[in-house]
């Protein structure tokens, strides 16, 4: 029974690889990365083509709203920082300076 399930899983992975051009686990990781970037852009209120300066400006505006000194929370600051860092990393090292 377990061997049969393993065979079906392998067959499903091969079919997915043939149809999508990549392994299912690679596709799933890329999907998670795309969703994380989409959430980060929504949190900062940015368009998909936003550059380094736009990301930094949006981050500063958000931090001004959610900072604990202004009634916000540390968790919101961490989320904003993570969103900024991820989007800047996506731009690449040339735009990071």
Query: Does residue 23 form part of some domain?
Result: no
Query: Does residue 1 form part of some domain?
Result: no
Query: Does residue 84 form part of some domain?
Result: yes
Task: Give the pLDDT confidence of 42-64 residue by residue, as tens digits.
Answer: 999 999 989 999 999 999 999 99
Considering its fold, how many domains does the chain have in total? Answer: 1
Q: 47-51 long-range contacts, Cβ below 8 Å, gap at least 24?
A: 50/87, 51/91, 51/95
Contact 72, 66 (CB under 8 A): yes
Query: Does residue 14 form part of some domain?
Result: no
Query: Does residue 76 form part of some domain?
Result: yes
Task: Give the pLDDT confidence of 13-42 residue by residue, as tens digits.
Answer: 899 999 989 999 998 898 999 999 999 999
Give the mean pLDDT of 79-91. 94
For the whole model, what pTM was predicted? 0.72
């Amino acid at each position: 029974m377990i061997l049969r399930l393993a065979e079906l899983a392998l067959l499903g992975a091969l079919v997915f690889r043939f149809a999508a051009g990549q392994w299912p686990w690679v596709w799933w990781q890329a999907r998670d990365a795309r969703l994380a970037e989409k959430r980060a852009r929504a949190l900062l209120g940015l368009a998909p083509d936003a550059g380094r300066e736009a990301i930094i400006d949006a981050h500063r505006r958000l931090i001004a709203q959610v900072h604990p000194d202004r009634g916000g929370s540390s968790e919101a600051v961490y989320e904003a920082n993570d969103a900024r860092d991820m989007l800047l990393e996506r731009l690449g090292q040339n735009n990071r300076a």
